[in-house]
Amino acid sequence: MSCEHANNHKDGGFGVSTKLNVLEHVMVPDHQIMSEDEVKQLYSLYSISSEQLPKIYHDDPSVKTIGAKVGDVIRIIRTSHTAGRAESYRLVIKRPKK
Amino acid sequence: MASPKRIGKIEFGLLSPKEIRTMSVRKIIWADTYDDDGFPYPQGLMDLHLGVIDPGLRCKTCDQKASECPGHFGHIELAKPVIHVGYTRLIRKLLRVTCRSCSRLLLSPEEIVKVVGTEDDLTGDVLSEKDIKKERVCPHCGEQQLKINFEKPTTFSEIIVEEGKKVEHKLTPADIRARMEKIPDEDLRHLGINPTVARPEWTVLTVLPVPPVTMRPSIILENGQRSEDDLTHKLVDIIRINQRFKENQDAGAPQLIIEDLWELLQYHVTTYLDNEVAGCPPARHRSGRPLKTLSQRLKGKDGRFRGSLSGKRVNFSARTVISPDPNLSVVEVGIPLAIANEMTIPVHVTPYNIENLRQMVRNGPERKTLTEPCGANYIIRPDKRRIRLAEGNLETVAEMLEPGWTVERQIRDGDIVLFNRQPSLHRMSIMAHRVKVMDGRTFRLNPAVCPPYNADFDGDEMNLHIPQTEEARAEAAILVAVEENILSPRFGGPIIGGIHDHISGIFMLTNQLKWHTKEEALYLLRHMEIEHLPLPGKIEDGTPMWSNKQVFSTVLPKELNMVFRASSCQNCETCKRETCERDAYVRVIDGILECGTIDKKAIGAFDGQIVHRIIRQYGMKRAAEFIDDITHLSIRSIMLSGFSFGIDDEDLSKTEYGQIDEVLTSAIQDVQRRIKIYEDGQLEPMPGRTPEETLEMQIMQVLGKARDRTGEIAGRHLGLGNSAVVMAVSGARGSMLNLTQMAGCVGQQSVRGERIMRGYDDRTLPHYKKGDRGSDAHGFIQHSYKSGLNPTEFFFHAIGGREGLVDTAVRTSQSGYLQRRMINALQDLKVAYDGTVRTTGGRIIQFRYGEDGTDPMKSSFGDPVDVKGIVESILKEEV
């Protein structure tokens, strides 16, 4: 089972799969990969480098579903109790061992 | 003061024997400290090269006096190496991952690459014990590896299998050290060790640093005897054993004795470093007290970190019991004269204040009465020399005073001070008050500031701190002042407001329409700063009369408009508004209370609507004045008629007692009837419940309803003439439930939300038959507190009461620990100027504070804008 399962992961959710698409779950906010220009704008807006962004692991279910790679920046749009709509940005990093 | 410097880097490593010898100023060989004349032995533990603690002597290393010499390290050459207890984990790991013969990593280069990655593409991981299979063959020299056993605290051994039997072979520290020395630098890097600063063999000590005497001073007892520090005692032990070890070694003693001595030396070095190691009996003082050695100095609540660095004792602080004074302003704090005389503020002498300060110096350190002006306790000359002011030198010092000097004057009325009550759980636990010097021995505060401190007067003590610089005083006045902290950032409403008697008082003043004569009106308004009374509301038989609402309106700002419902509002289906028989519809037009009762909802701490509106419309300062006015007015009002409660206030009439009896009897019968149905097997269970559960729920419901009925009956008899009812209705204290329990029926006692079931087999007490499910057998108390509980009821009441006590005890400790951890995690975060929440390193935690960028303190109960309030205040109508 473990071997087949590993193969499923590689295709990033494409093809016919019975697996749940986490993005469709009500509790999962919208995840988008940001273009290079958008990322550059984001860095200049907050005058930060990629190091100062919050992080997200590459094997996070929603990261895998949208197919983001290590080094990408993801925009997460949540519904917020206070603001109605809140944007947040995360840098995809590799999950360290253990 | 030295200029601050930026830290370039911090290196974490081990002290090498070479470094220890280089930093050492003296080799220590004698276990003795002082000779008979009280002079330190050369090369002894108190050698003068290690620094000086006795005044008068000079350090032989740096030639400085006792107060200036920082102390210098010495060293002891150990006869044989011993293991450092702090590194046993590391030693175990290294022994298990390296070859016992060639000391190289037990992995082929390919296997290493798999974990660590290639030189250009490092995974960032380091090798761990788990990456190496147990008891394998060395890939480099082909040696069969053995299992390494580690026994706490410091014993390592190899397990050799001989003829099917396992034999333990002990590894001496010297063996271990030899293996470590051979581990190549490159292999260490794969293990996450930087060999330039931390060679692993340095974890096995061959030379021991001797700390300077300044960190282990000896004290001289009253009888003239010297008492040495715990560290010194331990070092004495080490040197003694070391010396004996050396002698035995040189004399060629048998192996057995050498091993014993080696183990003893290991024990002493181990306990010197850490006296609380598992599997090692702690070294004790002659009295039996365990010694406080190096690790114990750092660890725990009173250790160096939590006790001396994160928190320390401070000067310019005072602590005493608190007591209430409703005549003070909320921004004031009453300070006993004795404390005010002791505490000072430094004032620089300038040409402008020199005459004032001269007078203070002349006044001297003793202020005998409240009316006397403040004096001064010390003078500081420009060369930092302090002169204590005393009866004899006042006049001379006053004459000597000139600009550039500093006078430490006593605190006086109007000074700003910080006031604090532990536990300091939120920012309002420390607030800045204005001083009011008073008689007595306690700190006095207005009861309206109790909620933010969570203080009461059952013996609480509070702390006071005097800011010593202009900057500190400015910060206190601008940021920490009580006026600035009326609003709580926790929920965006006022946390300071009327409590208890303030609310009862203002309720009794404003409830329904009442008329006061001029005398009464002036009595009520005596403490208010009003210039004239409003025009009388009516003239009766030629005497002008003022309504209670008029009296109250004098303290309201002139342009205030608001509409809300008081605490006593019953949320009727259709609100009768102005004609409400409870007078719970509050309407303020242009600063005049048109109708309604002022109570907890209007001026109480936590939900004072009028206070909140005044803050939003006029600012904190005006709100503080309003709170002062309202507390003074309500106290006057409660004194106008008096307010008390006694046992006969719980009395009901014969009819009510009859009705209550009837209700309870029928309820108990109803319970019996339901039990009968259940026992006959006729009970229809509720969906998802067993018949037993259904029965229990029904019984709880029936008895709960019966108790409420008795409350209603009692409430009908007790009107607003009853003090407890006034307190319950106005929201000052207590509830109608408390009153029900006092006058009607205490009701069902419960444990974990269920009737009391514990006790003996099938029954709670031997007073009942086995299997009795009746109401009285499971904790229903049909008496009231007034009528008195019978013994079984009393017992059940104690059971129910105990659960509450246990719950609070558990909750406070758990939430306290949660809070501590949250504060530790969040303490360095701050909101940057661009609205982001960042760490000190500039890393972003939140892209907008709270996602909407709203300061919760400036919000209206969480909402950034109080739209309803603004509209209502303009339309002067409810929307």
Which chain A residue is nearest to residue B115, measuring alpha carbons? A97
Q: Looking at the complex, does the CB of residue A44 fall below 8 Å from at least one CB of chain B?
A: no
- Closest by CA to B511, choosing from B624, B585, B598, is B598
What domains lie within chain A, and their CATH numbers? Answer: 20-93 (3.90.940.20)
Considering only CB atoms, A89 lies closest to which of B842, B847, B852, namely B847
Count of C-beta atoms within a 10 Å radius of residue B861: 11
Q: Tell me, what's the pLDDT at B73?
A: 93
Burial tier of B150 (Cβ tally within 10 Å: 0-12, 13-18, 19+): middle
Please tell me the predicted confidence (pLDDT) of residue B409.
94
According to DSSP, the residues that pair with A87 across neighbouring strands are A77
Domain boundaries, chain B: 84-199, 317-494, 501-641, 647-806
The per-residue pLDDT for A2 is 42
CATH homologous superfamily for the domain B501-641 = RNA polymerase Rpb1, domain 3 (1.10.274.100)
CA B84 to chain centre: 37
Give the amino acid at B43.
Q
pLDDT for the residue B270: 92
Chain B: closest CA distance from residue A25 (Å):
22
What pLDDT, in 10s, does the model give residues B123-165?
667 777 777 777 678 888 887 888 888 887 888 888 887 777 8
Band (pLDDT 50/70/90 cuts) for residue A97 is: low
Does domain B647-806 sit in CATH 3.40.50.1360? no
Longest dimension (CA), chain B: 123
How many residues appear in chain B? 879
> Do B85 and B154 touch, CB atoms closer than 8 A?
yes
In this complex, the residue of A46, A81, A96 whose CB is nearest that of residue B844 is: A46
The 3 state secondary structure assigned to B279-290 is CCCCCECCCCCE
Q: What residues pair up with B619 in beta bridges, in sequence order?
A: none
* Gap between the terminal Cα atoms of chain A: 22
Q: Measuring CA to CA, how many Å separate B437 from each of B343, B356, B542?
A: 12, 20, 47
Q: Which residues of B747-764 are buried (b: 16+ CB within 10 A; e: fewer)?
A: bbbbeeeebbeeeeeebb
Q: Which amino acid is at B255?
A: Q
CA distances from B210 to B216, B234, B236, B303 (A): 10, 11, 11, 21
CA nearest A51: which of A69, A71, A32, A31? A71
Give percent of chain A above pLDDT 70: 81
Choose among A53, A87, A96: nearest Cβ to B124: A96
Q: B179 is written with which tokens? A: 């293996």
* CB of B192 closer than 8 Å to CB of B200: no
- Residue B619 corresponds to which amino acid? G
Residues, chain A: 98
> CA-to-CA distance for B854 and B491, rounded, in angstroms?
12
Phi, psi torsion values for A58, nearest 5 degrees: -65, -25
Distance (Å) from the alpha carbon of B814 to chain A's nearest alpha carbon: 28
Tell whether the torsion through CA atoms of B65, B66, B70 and B72 is positive or negative: positive
Is the pLDDT at A7 greater than 60, yes or no? no
Count interface pairs A-B at CB distance under 8 A. 44
| Residues B549, B551: Cα–Cα separation, whole Å | 5
Rounded Cα distance between B597 and B575, Å, is 15
- Is pLDDT of A56 > 90? yes
Q: For testing the chain B interface, which of A82, A88, A91, A94 should be mutated: the one with the most B CBs within 10 Å?
A: A82
List residues of chain B with CB under 8 Å from any CB of chain A.
Answer: 123-125, 834, 836, 838, 841-848, 850-854, 862
β-bridge partners, A33: A74
- Quick check: do B317-494 and B647-806 share a fold? no
Residue B418 near residue B428 (C-beta atoms within 8 A): no
Q: How sure is the predictor about A14, in pLDDT bands with cuts at 50, 70 and 90?
A: low
What tokens does B552 get? 């109250």
Question: Can you tell me which residue has the tokens 């008195």?
Answer: B788
Mean pLDDT per 10-residue segment, chain B (879 residues): 84 91 90 79 86 82 84 91 91 88 83 74 73 76 82 84 81 89 87 89 92 88 83 90 90 86 91 88 86 89 86 91 94 95 94 93 90 92 90 89 92 95 90 95 95 94 96 95 91 90 92 90 88 86 90 90 88 84 89 90 89 91 92 92 90 90 92 91 89 91 92 87 90 90 91 90 92 90 92 94 91 87 91 93 92 88 86 83
Instruction: Determine the pLDDT at residue B122.
Output: 66
Range list of H helices, B680-790: 691-717, 723-730, 736-739
Q: Which CATH architecture has domain B317-494?
A: Beta Barrel (2.40)
What pLDDT shows up at residue A1? 38
User: Closest residue of A to B839, CA-based?
Assistant: A52
Q: Which of B547, B551, B548 shows the shortest CA–CA distance to B539?
A: B547
**B59 is written with which tokens?**
């350090």
Q: Which of B838, B842, B854 sits opposite A82 (nearest CB)?
A: B854
Nearest to B601 by CA among B556, B565, B563: B565
| Residues from chain B contacting residue A78 (CB–CB below 8 Å) | 851
CB B453 within 8 A of CB B428: yes
Per-residue confidence (pLDDT) for residue A3, from 0 to 100: 43
The secondary structure of B655-692, three-state, reads: HHHHHHHHHHHHHHHHHHHHHHHHHCCCCCCCCCCCHH
- Token pair 């019996």 in the structure block, residue: B672
The predicted pLDDT at position A86 comes to 92
Among B411, B387, B397, residue whose Cα is nearest residue B354: B397
Query: Which structure tokens are listed for B533?
Result: 């009374």
**Chain B residue whose CA is closest to A75:** B847
Please say if the pLDDT value at position A9 is more than 60.
no
d(CA B595, CA B514): 12
Average pLDDT rounded to a whole number, residues A34-52 = 93
Chain A residues 2-41 with a CB less than 8 Å from chain B: none
Nearest residue on chain A to B841, alpha-carbon basis: A52
Q: How confident is the model at residue A8 (pLDDT cuts 50, 70, 90)?
A: very low
Chain B residues with CB-CB distance to A54 below 8 A: 843-845
Q: What is the structure's pLDDT at A10?
A: 47
**B272: nearest Cα among B246, B291, B298, B245:** B291
